[in-house]
Amino acid sequence: MMNHRLILLSDRYISPVLMDCAVRRGIPVFPLKEELGTELSRRFTGLKLISEQTAAEIIRSGAKYYTNTEDVLSKIVADTTDQVLIDNINVFKDKFRFRELLKPLFDDFQYFQIDPENPVQVKLKMGKEYILKPNRGLFSIGIRKARTGQELEKAVSEMKVELARYKDIAETVLDTKKLILEECVSGMEYACDAAFDPDGKPVIYSIMQHPFSSPDDFRDVIYCTSREIMREMLPKVADLMLKISRLMGIRNFPVHFEFRVCDGELFPIEFNPLRFAAIGLSDLPHYAYGFNSFELYFDSIAPDWEKILAGKDERFYYSVLGVTPPGLEAAKPNLKGFIKTFKDLLFFEEFNPLKTHFFCLALARSEKREEMLKYLELDFNEFYQKSRGDL
C-alpha cells in the first residue's frame, strides 16, 4: 500500500471538486508556479501546499499521483526512480508508441509516423480515410482528416497554422514536430475517467459520450453521461482496460481515455496519463452520480455502480465548453447571454481563454438529448457581438 499521495497542479484549470478532496483528505499539493500557490491559498482554505523540494522527496519515495494537466508530468519523470512509472507515462503520451503497444490487440490497424516537412513519405491506400494528429497533444488540437497524398499535404499545412495559436503549451504536452497518421475509426466516440487500482484492476468513475456535429468535427464542445450510457458501456470498458493492464503491468494509475465503438467493438483512440478529463469535465460525475472521483481514486474505492444507477432517472448530464473564436482570446464574451441558453444549469465557471483556449465551462442536465446537442450547432461568435446585449 502506498504511504504517500501527491497532487501536482499547473494553472490551466483548478477543479473545485479536486481541491475539496485535497483539503478533506489532507493530500499534499504541489503548484508548478509560485503565483499558482498564492491563488490556491486564497481560494481554498486548509490546503496543504508543499515546496518543490518536498514534492521531489515524496516522488522519490513513491506515491499515488494525480495531475490536472500533462504540464507537470516532467516533474514526476525527473524525480522518480520508478522506471515502470516512467515507461507507462511515456507510452501513453507518445501516440506512436501507444499504437505499437496495442499491436497484439489490433494487429490489422494502420498507422504511420509523419515528418511535417515531408508528409508524402507514406502512401495512403485508395478508399481509406486517415486521421492526422500531433504525436503528443490535447484538446483535440490540430486534428485533420486525409484520404489522398494531396489532402495529407493540405492537412499538414492547415495544422501548422492552427498549432501556431498554442505556442504557450509546452512541447512535452503538444508536440508540433512529430505527427501520427492513423486509420480512421468510425462510430460513436466516448471518453472515460478511470484508474488501474493497486492490483492493476480497472476502476471506472465516468463514461461520457462525445458527440460531434459532422464527421469532420473534432471539437471538445459536448460530453454527456447518463444511466443508459453507463449501463451499456461499463462491462466493455472494463474488459478493454484489463487487457491493457496485462500488457503494461500498470498499478495505481489514473487515466482519461477516449475510444470509439465500431460494430459493437471498442477501439482506443488515446490514453492521457495520471489525470482524468481536463478543464472541469472530470467534475461531471460529482453532479451526475453524487461522488467525488478524486477521493475514490486516492482511497482505492470503486463506485458501486449497480446501486448508484438504480437510483438514477434517464436524464442526461452534460458539459459544454465555450469555444473562443480565433483572434478573440482577449475579448470579453457575453456570459449572461450564454448562461440563458441553459434550462437546468448545475455549474458554471468563466475561463481565461489565454490559459484554457475556452471562455467557460457549463455543466447542465436535460431530459432531452436534442437540448444538449444544440450546442454543436451554436455559433459562439454570437457571444462576442457587444451590440446585441444580453440574448
Q: Which of 89-93, 287-291, 331-335, 353-357 has the highest mean pLDDT?
A: 287-291
Give 329-362 pLDDT, tens digit per residue.
Answer: 888 999 999 999 999 999 999 998 887 789 999 9
CB atoms closer than 10 angstroms to residue 76: 22
Q: Is 78 exposed, middle or buried (0-12, 13-18, 19+ CB in 10 A)?
A: exposed
- Euclidean distance between CA atoms 247 and 52, whole angstroms: 33
The predicted structure's pLDDT at residue 307:
96
Q: Which of 119, 20, 6 is nearest to 61 (CA)?
A: 6
307, three cell numbers: 446501486
- Report whether 201 contacts 132 (CB < 8 A): no
- The pLDDT score that the predictor gives to residue 183 is 87
Interatomic CA distance for residues 7 and 18, integer angstroms = 9
Mean pLDDT, to the nearest integer, of 372-376?
96
Q: Are 324 and 359 in contact (CB under 8 A)?
A: yes
Other C-beta atoms lying within 10 Å of the C-beta of residue 323: 20
Question: How far apart are alpha carbons 282 and 19 in whole angstroms?
Answer: 12
What pLDDT is recorded for position 235? Answer: 97
Give pLDDT tens digits for 99-154.
999 999 998 888 888 777 666 667 777 778 888 888 776 666 768 888 777 888 88
